């Protein structure tokens, strides 16, 4: 196991560039594929890219805020103390890897933005506390819990299909959560992952102490008010618990009223909830703003890179390339195997478009129409697209950006471990989708 991991680590260390460079290379490959397979002219591809570059600006802001809000909540004194309590009794490297994986997985199932940040933060704490722990691996383990994000409480595709008025309701109707994230197949898959993935990650730990790279011992500096013996009125307002807690509780009051009025769980709902909890738990505006300043560094890569992926998405959609890819998989499928084909198609497309929701807008209609024509299970096919997306997120540089910013590592430092995790997850995901697809073929 260590020999295989070391092989991938060496390959990645030698050939893997920074995430922005990867986005630029993927842009070039998309242009070439569109020209070769679709007959799209170079100038036409350039126009599609430029016209679509800002198409996902609102969605980019939502993604940025959900990661920022998740980071802020994870850095509140209450959550920080809870993490300290969790890592308190961990003393061995393999136990640390198990804990990091579990925390990242449970957090991502509850909310993907929160889990994505929380897994890395607790991995960082473990890396600084446990002697002999390989820091790149524990960061990879904390991130690997993100593999369940799309089949958790904040999964974009299942939530969308359960929302009245969604853009495909006339074709497939509403798909209740009981048929998707709360189906026996998905519940079973998540339990298997949460039980086995931590121990698989622990097996990857280097046996040779000379191969271990430990984290820097410096702990995180606590976020606190600056001391001042004689504060001005402005300073007193900045450090006022009344203003901080009052604003946070006002936001939480709206959340309660929104739910009482029958509002659904959306990205904007989650963002406001997390921000309101964050400012409430930080007590004062000054502490909240200090955490905000740190969090901006974590999300900075997303702000500049997401438009590049929006441009790629525009080329894929405008040229018809994404439909061609999806249709190719459909053409080789039967009612039983369509979910499997959807899984692999989604995994491939996700490398070019790292957005479960954005990918579903284009790929979803193709797969749902195919499911209706072939008599394949609509819930299984739809969730196969979501699972394929979260599968290749393990090696998608875009979503690794927060882990890189928090940990201080380079992409090449732990990508070799992510490749191994990708293979392992592929076995579990594929087995689940195959069993689900064959068991429900012919069921709408």
Question: Is residue 333 within 8 Å of 340, Cβ to Cβ?
Answer: yes
For the residues 62-67, what does the mean pLDDT come to?
A: 77
The answer to whether residue 228 scores a pLDDT higher than 70 is: no
Distance CA 183, CA 178 (A): 5
Distance CA 169, CA 220 (A): 48
CA 35 from chain center: how many Å? 31
For the residues 279-303, what does the mean pLDDT come to?
A: 85
The answer to whether residue 163 scores a pLDDT higher than 60 is: yes
pLDDT digits (tens, 9 = 90+) for 92-119: 999 999 999 999 999 999 877 778 888 9
pLDDT of residue 225: 56
- In percent, the amount of the chain with pLDDT more than 70 equals 92
The mean pLDDT of the chain is: 86
DSSP annotation of 76 reads S
pLDDT of residue 294: 82
pLDDT digits (tens, 9 = 90+) for 369-424: 788 878 899 999 999 999 999 999 999 877 887 788 788 888 888 888 999 999 99
25: how many CB neighbours lie within 10 A of its CB?
Answer: 11
Task: Concatenate the DSSP letters of all residues of 147-178 into one string.
Answer: GGGGGSTT-HHHHHHTSTT-TTHHHH----GG
Query: What is the band of 60 on the pLDDT scale with cuts at 50, 70, 90?
Result: confident
Of residues 418 and 171, the one with the higher pLDDT is: 418
Q: Phi and psi at residue 390, in whole multiples of 5°?
A: -75, -25
Question: Is residue 130 within 8 Å of 91, Cβ to Cβ?
Answer: yes
Task: Concatenate the DSSP letters of all residues of 3-66 into one string.
Answer: HHHHHHHHHHHHH---HHHHHHHHHHHHHHHHHHHH---HHHHHHHHHHHTTTTHHHHHHHHHH
* pTM (predicted TM-score): 0.80
Question: Is residue 417 within 8 Å of 403, Cβ to Cβ?
Answer: no
pLDDT digits (tens, 9 = 90+) for 4-20: 777 777 776 677 677 77
Of residues 219 and 28, the one with the higher pLDDT is: 28
Q: How far is CA 72 from each of CA 86, 279, 280, 422, rounded to the nearest angstrom?
A: 19, 9, 11, 29
pLDDT digits (tens, 9 = 90+) for 127-155: 999 999 999 999 999 999 999 988 988 78
The answer to whether residue 265 scores a pLDDT higher than 70 is: no
Question: Is residue 31 within 8 Å of 45, Cβ to Cβ?
Answer: yes
Q: How far is CA 269 from each of CA 292, 295, 390, rounded to the nearest angstrom?
A: 19, 20, 22
Least confident of 62-71, 339-348, 430-439: 62-71
């Amino acid at each position: 196991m260590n020999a295989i991991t070391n092989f991938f680590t060496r390959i990645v260390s030698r050939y893997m560039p920074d995430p922005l460079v990867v986005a630029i290379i993927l842009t070039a490959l998309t242009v070439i594929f569109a020209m070769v397979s679709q007959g799209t002219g170079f100038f036409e591809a350039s126009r599609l890219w430029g016209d679509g570059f800002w198409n996902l600006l609102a969605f980019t802001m939502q993604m940025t805020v959900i990661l920022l809000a998740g980071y802020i909540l994870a850095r509140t004194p209450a959550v920080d103390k809870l993490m300290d309590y969790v890592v308190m009794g961990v003393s061995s490297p393999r136990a640390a890897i198990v804990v990091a994986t579990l925390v990242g997985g449970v957090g991502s199932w509850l909310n993907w933005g929160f889990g994505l940040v929380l897994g890395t933060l607790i991995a960082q704490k473990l890396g600084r506390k446990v002697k002999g722990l390989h820091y790149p691996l524990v960061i990879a383990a904390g991130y690997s819990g993100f593999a369940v994000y799309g089949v958790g409480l904040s999964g974009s595709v299942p939530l969308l299909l359960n929302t009245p008025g969604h853009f495909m309701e006339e074709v497939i109707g509403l798909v209740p959560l009981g048929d998707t994230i709360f189906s026996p197949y998905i519940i079973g898959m998540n339990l298997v992952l949460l039980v086995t993935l931590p121990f698989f990650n622990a097996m990857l730990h280097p046996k040779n102490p000379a191969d271990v790279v430990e984290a820097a011992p410096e702990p995180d500096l606590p976020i606190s008010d600056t001391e001042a013996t004689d504060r001005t009125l402005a300073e007193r307002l900045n450090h006022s618990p009344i203003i901080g807690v009052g604003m946070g509780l006002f936001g939480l009051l709206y959340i309660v009223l929104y739910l009482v009025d029958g509002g659904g769980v959306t990205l904007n709902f989650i963002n406001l909830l997390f921000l309101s909890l964050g400012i409430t738990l930080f007590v004062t505006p000054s502490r909240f703003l200090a955490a905000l300043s740190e969090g901006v560094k974590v999300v900075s890569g997303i702000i500049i890179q997401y438009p590049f992926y929006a441009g790629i998405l525009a080329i894929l959609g405008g040229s018809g390339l994404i439909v061609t890819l999806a249709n190719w998989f459909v053409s080789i499928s039967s009612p039983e195997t369509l979910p499997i084909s959807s899984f692999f198609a989604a995994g491939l497309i996700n490398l070019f478009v790292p957005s479960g929701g954005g990918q579903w807008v284009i790929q979803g209609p193709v797969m749902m129409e195919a499911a209706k024509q072939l008599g394949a299970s609509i819930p299984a096919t739809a969730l196969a697209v979501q699972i394929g997306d979260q599968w290749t997120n393990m090696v998608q540089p875009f979503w690794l950006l927060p882990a890189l910013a928090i940990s201080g590592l380079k992409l090449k430092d732990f990508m070799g471990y992510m490749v191994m995790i990708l293979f392992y997850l592929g076995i579990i995901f594929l087995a689940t989708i195959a069993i689900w697809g064959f068991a429900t073929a012919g069921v709408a």
